[in-house]
Amino acid sequence: MANLIVLEFPTAEGAETMLSTLENLQKQQLIQVQDAAIVTWPVGARKPKTRQLSSTTAAGALGGAFWGMLFGLLFFIPFFGLAVGAAVGAIAGHYAKYGIDEKFINQVREKVTEGTSALFLLTSGAVVDRVAEAVKGQKFEIIQTNLSREQEDQLRKDFGEE
């Protein structure tokens, strides 16, 4: 079973700082990152910058289509206003079948704002106590959703890179 975890940092640089810790945890086989992306939203920027992280991801990554649609839903569609409200509802409903429900989407929208950053991780196999020890001292908030095996399989089928 996989987890979609968002680590939200109170600074625009926080997520970048966490990357080296994450890479070390993977090398020690304390966590398996199946896919990852980062969002940075510097103070004064109208919208966030997003990018998929290829250096931290395993074979079978979901790919740019998944992250592009998710980030569009989270950060860019709200800029278009009510004119696309119905479309937003339809897209959000589509993500629910993957275990990414409206509550998760709203939590991310509320937390990841100007002046913050976030690390989006699709993970499994974490040795929780060792991971917690390694990230102690770094300030972040966790937003998480657990995906069932069926939801994970559907994500890979619909968005996986071949």
- Per residue in 90-144, pLDDT (tens digit) is 666 667 777 888 888 889 989 999 999 999 988 888 888 888 888 888 999 999 8
User: Does residue 73 register a pLDDT over 50?
Assistant: yes
Question: Which residue carries 């103070």 as its tokens?
Answer: 43
pTM here is 0.82
Using the predicted structure, report yes or no on whether residue 88 has a pLDDT greater than 60. no
Among residues 89, 49, 53, 62, which one has the least CA distance to residue 73?
89
* Backbone conformation region of residue 157, classed left if phi is above 0, alpha if psi is from -120 to 50, else beta: alpha
| The 3-state secondary structure of 88-106, one letter per residue | HHHHHHHHHCCCCCHHHHH
Question: Going by C-beta distance under 8 Å and a sequence separation of 6 or more, which residues neighbour residue 83?
Answer: none
